[in-house]
Structure 1
Amino acid sequence: MKFWKQLCCLGLAAVAMLSVAGCGGSSPESSSSGKMQKLSIGLMPDTDSLPFLIAEEKGYFADEGLEVDLKQFKSAMDRDSALQSGNLDGAVSDMLAAAFAKDGGFDVKVTSATDGSYKLVAGKTEGAVDVKGLQGKDVSVSRNTIIEYVTDEILAKDGLKGEDINKVIIPQIPTRLEMLQNGKLAAATLPEPMASIAIHNGAHLVKSSDDLGINPGIILFTDKAAKDKQKEIQAMYRAYNRAVDYLNTAPREDYIDFVIEKAGFPAAAKEALKLPTYHKAALPKEQDVTDCIKWLNAKDLVKETYGYDDLVINLLGE
Structure 2
Amino acid sequence: MKKIMVFLLICAMTVFLAACANGKKESADSKAGQLQNITIGLMPDVDSIPFIIAQEKGYFKEEGITVTLKSFRSAVDRDSALQSGNLDGAISDMLAEAFAKEGGFNTVITSLTSGSYKLVINKDETITSIKELKGKDVAISKNTIIEYVTDKIISQGGLAPEDIHKVVIPQIPTRLEMLQNGKVAAATLPEPMASIAVRNGGKLLNSSDQLGINPGVLIFTTKAVNEKDKELQGMYRAYNKAIEYLSREPMENYIDLLIEKGGFPESVKGALVLPQYKKAVAPGIKDVEDCVTWLQARQLIQKAYPYKELVDDRFVRQ
TM-score normalised by the chain length of structure 2: 0.89
Residue 226 of structure 1 aligns with which residue?
225
8 A Cα contact 2:129 2:157, kept in partner: no
Q: Secondary structure at the match of 1:219?
A: strand
Shift of 1:158: 2.0
Residue 34 of structure 1 aligns with which residue?
32
Residue 57 of structure 1 aligns with which residue?
56
Aligned Cα root-mean-square deviation (Å): 1.7
Shift of 1:50: 0.4
Residue 81 of structure 2 aligns with which residue?
82
8 A Cα contact 2:192 2:268, kept in partner: yes
8 A Cα contact 1:131 1:155, kept in partner: yes
Instruction: Give 1:94-133 correspondences, 5 Å limit.
Output: 94-133=93-132
8 A Cα contact 2:113 2:216, kept in partner: yes
Partners in 2 of 1:175 and 1:109 — Cα distance? 30
Partners in 1 of 2:314 and 2:63 — Cα distance? 16
Tell me, which stretches of 5 or more residues in structure 2 are unaligned? 1-25
Partners in 1 of 2:316 and 2:146 — Cα distance? 31
The aligned length equals 292
Shift of 1:31: 9.5
8 A Cα contact 1:233 1:315, kept in partner: no
Shift of 1:315: 2.9
Question: Which amino acid in structure 2 is aligned with residue 158 of structure 1?
Answer: G
Q: Secondary structure at the match of 1:53?
A: helix
Question: Which amino acid in structure 2 is aligned with residue 259 of structure 1?
Answer: L
Partners in 2 of 1:129 and 1:290 — Cα distance? 32
Partners in 1 of 2:231 and 2:174 — Cα distance? 35
Shift of 1:285: 0.8
Partners in 2 of 1:264 and 1:135 — Cα distance? 34
Q: Secondary structure at the match of 1:271?
A: coil
Question: Which amino acid in structure 1 is aligned with residue 54 of structure 2?
Answer: A
Instruction: Give 1:59-208 correspondences, 5 Å limit.
Output: 59-208=58-207
8 A Cα contact 2:255 2:269, kept in partner: yes
Given the superposition, is the C-alpha separation of residues 81 and 133 from structure 1 closer, same or farther in structure 2, using an over 3 Å criterion? same
Residue 4 of structure 2 aligns with which residue?
none
Deviations 1:112-170 (A, max 9, x none): 00111100000100111111111100000000000000000111112322210010000
Which 4+ residue blocks in structure 1 deviate beyond 3 angstroms? none
Given the superposition, is the C-alpha separation of residues 122 and 63 from structure 1 closer, same or farther in structure 2, using an over 3 Å criterion? same
Shift of 1:32: 5.4
Partners in 2 of 1:149 and 1:42 — Cα distance? 21
Are 2:288 and 1:289 aligned?
yes
Q: Secondary structure at the match of 2:86?
A: coil
Q: Secondary structure at the match of 1:33?
A: helix
Residue 312 of structure 1 aligns with which residue?
311
Partners in 1 of 2:170 and 2:265 — Cα distance? 17
8 A Cα contact 1:234 1:315, kept in partner: no
TM-score normalised by the chain length of structure 1: 0.89
Shift of 1:34: 2.7
Are 2:246 and 1:247 aligned?
yes
Partners in 2 of 1:126 and 1:161 — Cα distance? 21
Partners in 2 of 1:159 and 1:296 — Cα distance? 21
Q: Secondary structure at the match of 1:242?
A: helix
Are 2:266 and 1:264 aligned?
no
Identical pairs, percent? 61
Question: Which amino acid in structure 1 is aligned with residue 155 of structure 2?
Answer: A
Residue 4 of structure 1 aligns with which residue?
none
Q: Secondary structure at the match of 1:233?
A: helix
Shift of 1:317: 5.5
Residue 23 of structure 2 aligns with which residue?
none
Question: Which amino acid in structure 2 is aligned with residue 313 of structure 1?
Answer: D
Residue 17 of structure 2 aligns with which residue?
none
Shift of 1:260: 1.8
Are 2:60 and 1:46 aligned?
no
Partners in 2 of 1:168 and 1:153 — Cα distance? 17
8 A Cα contact 1:119 1:190, kept in partner: yes
